[in-house]
Amino acid sequence: MALTKLPTGALADDAVDNTKLDLAANYAFTGTVSGTPQGMTLINSTSSTSTVASFNIDNVFSSTYKFYRVYMRVEYSQNNGFFTRMIDSSGTVRTANYYYNDESMYNNATTALFSGNNVSSWFNGRFSGGNVAFGGNRGGHYVIDFYDPYGTSVTHTFQKLMGWHDTAGFYYSGLFIGHNTNQESHRGFTVIGNSTNIIQHDVKVYGVTNA
């Protein structure tokens, strides 16, 4: 039944008071919504409990968005980590021209600073979590922003991360900022273990509308 909004006090079988709706009733929406929606749109959701050498999050970047937000958890075996690389528009994994700064803090108040200058990948998984007790929520946790990866200029990444560092024996959190200077379009990224050591992973990729 269509609803018609009438002035306060007017009554009709197919109308409601313009000050309220009956929240116990069922209403069918048949109209349209105008305006431009804003916020984040889910593009990709990937989850696996299989041990793999690497995994791709491919065909997620396009001309639709300039900004992307990625939520990622990667669990990997003791004393190992992982790194990430971009996938170009042809599907080739790029292995050069990565730059980054990684500033971190262990929970014993020890700080660490890592960097890479024109290296083969972003080494953003320096810690590992395979021996952390209680299971199910181990490994490294990331919030990753990409700026204009599908454009034909430099690709930027801004990351917040936390996890367990086996060598240090402490939890670890940090900020990772990097870029790839290949002036080309990137359609996705790959996550690669130092060995066949990625135990499980969960990834969600969102496009940021009107950013």
For the ranges 8-22, 31-45, 67-81, the maximum mean pLDDT occurs at 67-81
User: pLDDT band at 157, cuts 50/70/90?
Assistant: very high
21-60 exposure pattern, b = at least 16 Cβ within 10 A, e = fewer:
eeeeeeeeeeeeeeeeeeebeebbeeeeeeeeeebbbeeb
Lowest mean pLDDT among 3-17, 36-50, 70-84, 144-158: 3-17
Residue 199: per-residue pLDDT: 85
Pick the CATH number of 37-209 from 2.40.30, 1.10.10, 1.10.287, 2.60.120: 2.60.120
Q: Which amino acid is at 55?
A: F
Distance CA 39, CA 181 (A): 28
How far out from the chain centre does Cα 63 lie? 18
Residue 16 pLDDT > 70: no
Residue 19: per-residue pLDDT: 56
Per-domain boundaries in the chain: 1-31, 37-209
Q: What is the mean pLDDT of the chain?
A: 84
With a CB cutoff of 8 Å and minimum separation 6, the contacts of 113 are 101, 102, 103, 104
Distance CA 211, CA 194 (A): 35
Residue 1: per-residue pLDDT: 47
At 74-124, the pLDDT tens digits run 988 776 788 999 999 999 999 999 999 999 888 888 888 999 999 999 999
- Entry field: residues in the chain: 211
Instruction: Count the helix, strand and coil residues of the chain and give each as a percent rounded to the nearest 5.
Output: 0, 55, 45
Residue pair 98/157 in contact (Cβ under 8 Å)? The answer is no
What percent of the chain lies above the pLDDT cut of 70? Answer: 79
